Amino acid sequence: MKKSANDDLFGFDSGPRAPQDPSAAGGPADPFGFDAPQPADPYDFEEMQDPMPKNQMRSAIEDGAAQPAEQDAAQAEAAASSAAQSEWQEDTQTAVTKCPACGANMVYDSERGKLYCEHCGTVQEIEAKNSEEIAFESLLQNSHEWAAESYSFRCENCGARGVVAKGEITQTCPYCGTSNIVEEDELPSLRPTAVVPFALGKEQAGSDVRKWARRRAFAPRRFRKSARPEKMSAVYMPAFSFDTRTESDYRAVLGKYYYTTRRVNGKTVRTRHVRYFNVSGHFAMAFDDVLIQASANIDQKSLDKLQPFNTNDSREYRPEYLSGFTANQADKSGTECWNEAKDVIRGRLQSAILRRYSYDVVSSFNINTQCYDITYKYILLPVYVGHCSWGKKLYNFFVNGINGRVTGKAPVSPVKVTALVVLCLGVLVGLYFLFRYFSG
């Protein structure tokens, strides 16, 4: 069956499949690309038999297979989501909250979890409820709703891009520390739908960085003892989290080791062989908050090391959370992040399926997966960004603004690396001579 342009948004193949004749099954071709029977109970992830009753129309609409009523329902759902965001934008015309007591700008206090006036000490709650999942269809709509309450900036020194609330002034870059900051004409991207507020103070984050530096085994001794975070900034990192339910058909060729022995020149020689076997089946699995970074200023590997961020407890986005903070500009669209999320999902599915079998070798693994009931959050994650100086170089680090986890780069001592290499070579040489001695 010929696929439409958006079919790949909701499913993927990890390998070629043999062509099948739809008429051989006694019915029309499945618009979702499944070869196996569809699930019956939408909430029974182990024994599903019939098609999903909800949200299957996504790919079918693209193929023209959905009925007009179904198309209207999907379009109405996306329109309602967009209208809700627009209505909220009208209610939050300014991102700067004035102190009701003295009129000064209030900032978000991460340790209190509230707005705080640094001039008179007034504390004010932020009225925000828990964030909600949003239907995937609304992500396909282009929007610049964030521009009404924020503006973009760019660092001329390192190229970092970010977003601050209107009324806030960014004086230094959170990544390189320079003051060469310029405002951009480009509008901020899609308005966030959720935020995980900072819960860790800057002083505690600095203490966590010093502990992290002391644990760098290959760093120079002086760095481990005297490293201090410099120009540490609290930055909200943009990311997309995705929820979905998946249905997969798979087939693989696995191998199990077995051994034979024989006598050669009076010695016993043991030889390893592989006995291959075929496996196939149907597998269902649900995914919650698959988190994909959307900023070029932090890579996915670093973000994974900082997790978890407690995204299930995130709050609906309010501009007040940005008061006194910076947010990174998203460099990737939601659909780009979804394509990366599918790679993550594919890897987790393969691992989960292979855990069902006893094997030593994977010769081949092909999987055909379809995703149902896809929802997302465009979420801001709390991260402290800074650097440590050593040998006229800057070594950047990131700190999770919730639990204090740290990741980053540290200098490496050539002396320690050389000593380790020499030690490993000595061990290998010793093992070689031991083997020669005991083998006669």
What does the pLDDT profile of the chain (440 residues) look like in tens digits?
344 444 456 666 665 444 434 333 343 333 333 333 333 333 333 333 333 433 443 433 334 444 444 445 445 544 544 444 443 333 333 357 888 889 888 888 888 888 989 889 899 888 888 899 999 888 776 554 544 455 555 666 666 666 555 544 455 666 565 544 445 544 456 788 999 999 988 889 988 988 888 888 888 888 887 777 777 888 999 999 999 999 999 999 999 999 999 988 888 888 999 999 999 999 999 999 999 999 888 889 999 999 999 898 899 998 888 888 888 878 888 889 999 999 999 999 999 999 999 999 999 999 999 999 999 999 999 999 988 777 778 888 899 999 999 998 888 878 888 888 888 988 888 888 887 777 65
pLDDT at 304: 92
Tokens of 314: 């995130």
Q: Minimal CA–CA distance to 167: which of 356, 322, 353?
A: 322
Q: Do 172 and 182 contact (CB within 8 A), yes or no?
A: no
Amino acid at 437: Y
In DSSP notation, 204-227 reads HHHHHHHHHHHT-TTS-HHHHHH-
Tokens of 306: 């900082």
Q: Which distant-in-sequence residues (6+ apart) come within 8 Å of 287 by Cβ?
A: 242, 243, 244, 245, 246, 345, 348
Q: Quote the CA–CA distance of 394 and 175 in Å, as a whole number.
A: 10
Q: Do 315 and 128 contact (CB within 8 A), yes or no?
A: yes
Q: Which residues pair with 282 in a beta bridge?
A: 249
**Separation in Å, CA 55 to CA 11, 71, 342:** 13, 11, 18
Dihedral sign, Cα of residue 166, residue 167, residue 168, residue 170 = positive
Q: Do 327 and 217 contact (CB within 8 A), yes or no?
A: no
Q: What is the rounded end-to-end Cα distance, in angstroms, of the chain? A: 66
Amino acid at 287: F
Q: Quote the CA–CA distance of 155 and 162 in Å, as a whole number.
A: 9
Q: Quote the CA–CA distance of 37 and 279 in Å, as a whole number.
A: 18
Q: Quote the CA–CA distance of 285 and 319 in Å, as a whole number.
A: 36
- As to burial, measured by CB atoms within 10 angstroms (0-12 exposed, 13-18 middle, 19+ buried), residue 206 is middle
SS3 content of the chain, % helix, strand, coil (to 5): 30, 30, 40
Q: Quote the CA–CA distance of 347 and 367 in Å, as a whole number.
A: 10
* CA triple 35-38-39, angle to 5 deg: 145
